[in-house]
């Protein structure tokens, strides 16, 4: 950590180059003798990446930024703030602290927070930024979090960790493929805390995770703007062996929406067997990605009085527009055949965004085939239903994600 980067003129230089070409900056001569051009470019690049994801850090003078990979791997502010609501008690230890975003938000809710980070420079950076941000209730430990947990006296009310994928390639479907391996150290983690919160990639299979873990009380599926960002596994020490965990799909958009359902050992959750639509109603519903991750396809229809179009089509139809629904809602204008759309003479009849759900062609090919030009509010939805087979639905957007 080069503290010359915190000098006033240097900070002003970095902040005045918000949109600078970082590659060009890295090859240019540094105007500051104590600082390399690479270090300046690194601060610029990381700050640019933090602009939308971490606006508090971006807008606070005196923040020291780590290499951009640490920004990419950190939680966003909106997801970190949500995680903080899950903490219990007056003490928390973050075993994989990283840049410190999660620890910062935990410190707003918990009296005492311990941040552990194996990389000593990243630990120093997080500690500096905590002072700048006015958080004096966070203790920083530069070292392995599990080693520290095993040696320090006393327990913590809440324990949080974000295991990293082991290796550089391949998708992770098991917690045992991550570092630290939660499954190996679960006894220690439960011994030292009342509540354990584990953040994992949304790619992790829910059914596989439930088989690897025990005492899971909740699984939070966190989505922002139709992107499933993370899974949060909440394990409580006092949870009984026969407990069935709750799946909580939450969308953190302008309006928070929450969908709760009892989890199964498999990701798909069956409810009342809601029948498939025999016709397309006046409104079409597209669930948010987090809602789909829950696998509760029947329960979605039952909860919102909707009918699914087809077993493999993740679209629903309904008679009213229920704005409590976590996802997009469209007003159906008309149903089209491919011939009707192709033969439309006027250009305004072929203006709309193309949405493909369970249809044999890709969106870009359909745009060319039907000469469709973009429109913000209109959609051509290429899909399949049990009643109509392959069909095209012209619709207007009523509710965005």
* Whether residue 265 has pLDDT greater than 70: no
pLDDT at 268: 43
- Matching fold, domains 3-65 and 74-262: no
| Lowest mean pLDDT segment, chosen from 51-55, 65-69, 208-212, 241-245 | 241-245
pLDDT at 194: 95
pLDDT at 178: 86
CA pair distance 181, 183, nearest whole angstrom = 5
Band (271; pLDDT cuts 50, 70, 90): very low
Structural domain spans, the chain: 3-65, 74-262, 283-399
Question: Please, are residues 250 and 223 in contact by the beta-carbon 8 Å criterion?
Answer: yes
CA angle 148, 236, 204 (to 5 degrees): 80
- Mean pLDDT on 188-207: 93
Q: Record the tokens describing residue 239, joined without a space.
A: 């949870």
| Lowest mean pLDDT segment, chosen from 103-112, 169-178, 278-287, 329-338 | 169-178
* Whether residue 173 has pLDDT greater than 90: no
pTM: 0.91
Under CATH, to which class is 3-65 assigned? mainly alpha
- Mean pLDDT on 104-114: 98
Band (340; pLDDT cuts 50, 70, 90): confident
Options 3.40.47.10, 3.40.50.150, 3.30.70.3270, 1.10.1040.10; CATH for 74-262 is 3.40.50.150
Question: Please, are residues 21 and 46 in contact by the beta-carbon 8 Å criterion?
Answer: no
* Whether residue 270 has pLDDT greater than 80: no
Band (266; pLDDT cuts 50, 70, 90): very low
Proportion of the chain above pLDDT 90, given as a percent? 79
* Whether residue 170 has pLDDT greater than 90: no
Please report which residue ranges of 92-231 form alpha helices under DSSP H.
101-107, 120-132, 145-151, 182-191, 206-212
pLDDT at 362: 95
Q: Exposure pattern of 365-375 as b/e (b: 16+ CB <10 Å)?
A: ebbeebebeee
The three-state (H, E, C) secondary structure of 206-221, written as one string: HHHHHHHCCCEEEEEE
Band (292; pLDDT cuts 50, 70, 90): very high
- Mean pLDDT on 94-101: 97
| Lowest mean pLDDT segment, chosen from 65-79, 216-230, 330-344, 383-397 | 330-344
From residue 19, give the alpha-carbon distance in Å to each of 14, 48, 51, 134. Answer: 10, 7, 11, 28
């Amino acid at each position: 950590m080069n503290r010359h980067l915190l000098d006033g003129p240097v900070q002003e230089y970095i902040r005045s180059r918000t949109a600078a070409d970082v590659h060009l900056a890295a090859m240019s001569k540094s105007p500051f003798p104590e600082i390399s051009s690479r270090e300046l470019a690194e601060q610029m690049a990381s700050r640019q990446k933090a602009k939308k994801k971490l606006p508090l850090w971006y807008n606070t003078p005196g923040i020291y930024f780590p290499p951009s990979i640490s920004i990419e791997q950190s939680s966003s502010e909106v997801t970190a703030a949500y995680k903080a609501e899950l903490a219990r008690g007056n003490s928390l230890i973050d075993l994989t602290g990283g840049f410190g975003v999660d620890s910062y938000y935990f410190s707003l809710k918990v009296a005492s927070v311990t941040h552990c980070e194996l990389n000593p420079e990243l630990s120093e950076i997080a500690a500096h930024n905590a002072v700048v941000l006015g958080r004096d209730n966070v203790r920083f430990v530069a070292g392995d979090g599990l080693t520290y947990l095993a040696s320090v006296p006393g327990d913590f009310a809440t324990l949080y960790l974000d295991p990293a994928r082991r290796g550089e390639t391949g998708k992770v479907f098991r917690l045992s493929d991550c570092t630290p391996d939660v499954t190996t150290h679960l006894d220690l983690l439960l011994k030292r805390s009342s509540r354990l919160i584990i953040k994992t990639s949304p790619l992790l299979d829910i059914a596989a995770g439930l088989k690897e873990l025990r005492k899971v009380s909740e699984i939070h599926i966190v989505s922002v703007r139709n992107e499933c960002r993370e899974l949060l596994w909440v394990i409580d020490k006092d949870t009984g062996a026969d407990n069935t965990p709750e799946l909580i799909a939450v969308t953190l958009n302008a309006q928070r929406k929450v969908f709760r359902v009892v989890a199964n050992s498999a990701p798909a959750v069956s409810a009342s067997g809601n029948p498939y639509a025999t016709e397309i109603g006046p409104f079409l519903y597209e669930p948010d990605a987090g809602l789909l991750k829950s696998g509760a396809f029947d329960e979605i229809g039952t909860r919102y009085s909707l009918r699914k179009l087809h077993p493999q089509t993740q679209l629903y139809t309904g008679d009213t527009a229920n704005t409590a629904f976590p996802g997009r809602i469209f007003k159906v204008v008309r149903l089209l055949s491919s011939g009707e759309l192709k033969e439309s003479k006027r250009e305004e009849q072929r203006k709309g965004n193309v949405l493909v759900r369970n249809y044999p062609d890709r969106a870009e090919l359909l745009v060319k085939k039907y000469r469709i030009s973009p429109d913000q509010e209109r959609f051509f939805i290429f899909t399949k239903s049990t009643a109509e087979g392959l069909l095209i639905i012209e619709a207007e957007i009523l509710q965005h994600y």
